[in-house]
A and B are shown apart, each in its own frame.
Chain A
C-alpha cells in the first residue's frame, strides 16, 4: 500500500488524490469538493485529519510523505544514519560520510544557544589533523594590501580586540531537500543551521592593520583541508565576500565557540564567521585571506555553486550559467523546536505550547506566525529579543486544539522587508540554494 501510494503521488498527485482517497480539488487547488475523501484519508492515517478540508490538493498528506524504498537489498542501512563522532550528539543525522556532513534535527535546536555537541557538521574535503599548538597556527593576509601580514593565532589574540557574538551559522544549502524536483547536493532539511557564541577578532581590524588598497574589492579564503581526492594541487573550497561584508563588525576571525577553544571538527583552531551568509563563506581551518581586485573566482564561486537564478528557471530545467547570481544573505527561516515532530498527546489535550527559533540572514525577523489548520488561519508567536545582530529569535506560542486527532503545526517567519516563508520551496536552481518553505510538525492527540 505504501509503495503504491508513493508511486501514485510521484506520477500524478491529483490523480493519486482521486484514486486513493476519492477526492478532487477545486480550481483554487485548496480544499475538497466532497467529504468522502477526507474520511478515507483519515481512516488511512489512523486518526481524523482535523483540518483536512484545508489540505491543498495534490500535496501528499504528510502521513504518506515517506520516501519509497526501491528494491533495497537486505543489507542496506535503513532509516536515518546517526552520527558517531567524538564530542558530538549521536542524534545528529549523517547526510554523507565522505565528506562528513551531518545535520541537527529541528527538535535538537531547542536550546537558546546551540551547544557545540549539537551543532551541524559540514565538510567539503578531508578532515585535517588537529593542530598540536593552536596559538602557533598561521594566517597570511595578502593581495591588495599595503603590508602583507603573517600572523599566528597567538599574535591575533594579542594584537586585536576580542568580540563575542551569538550568531546563526547556516549552510547555504539548508532546506535543499524541499525542492521539487530534487536539487543536487546534500539533502538538508532545516538542520544545516545553529546559533552559537563565537569569540574572535573582527576581520575588519586585521584588514585595517594590513591596510586595504583602493583596489581591494573581494576576499578569497583558503583553508588547510585537503581535497577529497587526496590531490594536494586541488583546492577543496575557496569562497570569499565583498570587502563591505568583510569589514562588517560581526565578521570575525574566530578561535572559540561557546566559550571553549574552537574544536577541530568546527574548523579550529581558526576559522572565519561571516554571519547571515552561506556557511561556506565562514571558512574552516583558515590559513590565508587573499584580498583581490575583483570578485573571487575560486572553487565554489562559479557556475551554479552557491548561486541562485536571476531569471526564474523551470524547475529541473537546463541551467544557463550566465543566469546566476551569488547567494549573499540567507533567506528567512523559522523552525518549531518543541514539541518534536511525531509527538503524541493524551486524549483530551486541548492546548499545546510551542517553542522555536527564526532567523533571516542579514535581516531581522519581523514576526513569526503559527497555524494548526494547514495555513487557513494564523496566530502570532511571541519573539524574544536578539542578543545582537545576526542572533536568532527564539519564539513561543500556545495553540488550542479543538478535538482529538491528527494535526500539523506550521510555522511561518517574516523578515523585516516583509518577505515571509513560502508554502513550498521556490526559486528552483540545480544545486538547490535558498529553499525556505515553512517548517511543519505532525502531532497526534489521543
Chain B
C-alpha cells in the first residue's frame, strides 16, 4: 500500500483508495450517437514521470482523483506547490497531510516539476532535434 509509505492516517488512506476504485469503475463515455462505451485513459505508471525520492508515494497520493499528467504539466516553486496542495484540500477535500509527509511530496514535486521561467506554450516544429 504505497500511501502507507507516507505514514498517512489509515482510514483516510482507505477512503482515498476506495475513491480511486470508484473513479476507475465509474468513468463512462458515450459516442455522439449515444452508444455506451468506456473510454479508458492510457494506463499511467509512476515510472512515466521523472525519477526521484518519493515519486511513488506522490503519484499514488494524487491519482485516486485525477491523472498525473496534469500534475506533470505544471512547473512551480516549492511555495506554490504547497499552495496547490492547500487548494486541493480546501476545494476538493484532499486529505490534509502535513509535516514530514507533506515535505516529502513537496520535495518530489518541486524537484521533478520546478518553476519554469522560459516562455512556454508554443513549440516550433523547425527546432533543431
Chain B, residues 100-120, CB within 8 Å of chain A (1/0): the string is 000000000000100111111
How far, in angstroms, from A75 to B117 measured CA to CA in the complex?
Answer: 27
A98-B67, A182-B115, A303-B87 known; A264 and B34 CB under 8 Å? yes
A62-B124, A75-B47, A341-B125 known; A181 and B67 CB under 8 Å? no
The total number of A-B Cβ pairs within 8 Å is 210
Q: Are A230 and B19 closer than 8 Å at their CB atoms?
A: yes
A104 interfacial by beta-carbon distance below 8 Å: no
How far, in angstroms, from A67 to B123 measured CA to CA in the complex?
Answer: 8
Interface residues on A, range: 35 or more
A323 interfacial by beta-carbon distance below 8 Å: no
A98 / chain B contacts, CB cutoff of 8 Å:
23, 27, 41, 65-67
A22 interfacial by beta-carbon distance below 8 Å: no
Q: Are B118 and A71 closer than 8 Å at their CB atoms?
A: no
B1-45 contacts to A (CB < 8 Å): 19, 22-23, 26-37, 39, 41-42, 44-45
Q: Which of A64, A84, A185 contacts B124 (CB 8 A)?
A: A64
Chain B, residues 44-70, CB within 8 Å of chain A (1/0): the string is 110111110000000000001111011
How far, in angstroms, from A185 to B75 measured CA to CA in the complex?
Answer: 10
Q: Are A86 and B31 closer than 8 Å at their CB atoms?
A: yes
How far, in angstroms, from A86 to B77 measured CA to CA in the complex?
Answer: 38
B99 interfacial by beta-carbon distance below 8 Å: no
Q: Are B122 and A62 closer than 8 Å at their CB atoms?
A: yes
Q: Are B120 and A177 closer than 8 Å at their CB atoms?
A: yes
Q: Are B23 and A228 closer than 8 Å at their CB atoms?
A: yes
Q: Are A97 and B118 closer than 8 Å at their CB atoms?
A: no
A182-B116, A189-B121, A442-B126 known; A86 and B39 CB under 8 Å? yes
A100 / chain B contacts, CB cutoff of 8 Å:
29, 39, 41
Q: Which of B35, B64, B70, B119 contacts A186 (CB 8 A)?
A: B70
Q: Which of B48, B90, B117, B129 contacts A73 (CB 8 A)?
A: B48
Q: Which residue among B26, B122, B125, B128 has the maximum number of chain A CB atoms within 10 Å of its CB?
A: B122
Distance in angstroms from B25 CB to nearest chain A CB is: 9
Q: Are B29 and A85 closer than 8 Å at their CB atoms?
A: yes
18 contacts between A and B (CB under 8 A): A63-B127, A71-B51, A73-B47, A73-B51, A76-B47, A76-B48, A86-B31, A86-B39, A97-B44, A126-B27, A175-B121, A180-B117, A182-B76, A189-B121, A229-B64, A231-B19, A316-B80, A430-B83
When A and B form their complex, which 8 residue pairs have the shortest distance between CB atoms, in order from nearest? A86-B31, A342-B125, A177-B121, A230-B22, A97-B41, A87-B32, A130-B30, A98-B67
5 other contacts beyond A130-B30, A341-B124, with CB at 8 A cut-off? A63-B126, A71-B50, A95-B69, A228-B66, A316-B80
